[in-house]
Amino acid sequence: MKTFKTIMLTIAGASLLMAGAAMAHTPLCSCYDNGDGTITCEGGFSDGSSASGVEIRIVDKDGKVLNQGKMDEDSEYTFDKPDSDYKVEFDAGPGHVVEVDGSEITE
């Protein structure tokens, strides 16, 4: 009986650890200026998973959407650099949004 309890506790503990690992899925997004009037953003997750298909929006200082799309199969999105202040919103769902201010994007 003691062995059964030990096995059950081990399984329960492993399940909790695996659930915690599944929740450790931090979104990552970085953008750079290509030097040709375009910006490229690369996305992903801290566990190494792809950001392919993740929504990305470029918005002005008033929140107006200037451009939007989805990360491609390489987890990248390229767009024309806006003439005014802007930010990039990488939106992988509730609690998984990364914002990059346009003033921080350099070559």
Backbone φ and ψ of 44, nearest 5°:
175, -165
Give the CATH H-level superfamily of domain 26-104: Macroglobulin (MG2) domain (2.60.40.1930)
pLDDT tens digit string along 83-94? Answer: 999 999 999 999
pLDDT in the model for residue 25:
83
Global confidence as pTM: 0.76
pLDDT tier for residue 107 given thresholds of 50, 70 and 90? confident
Contact predicate 101/57, CB 8 Å: no
Rounded-to-integer distance, Cα 73 and Cα 75, Å: 5
Question: How many Cβ atoms are within 10 Å of 18's Cβ, its own excluded?
Answer: 10
pLDDT tens digit string along 70-80? Answer: 999 999 999 99
Residues 61, 67, 71, 75: what is their CA dihedral angle, to the nearest 10 degrees? -60
Tell which residue, 72, 69, 26, 30, has the closest CA to residue 52: 72
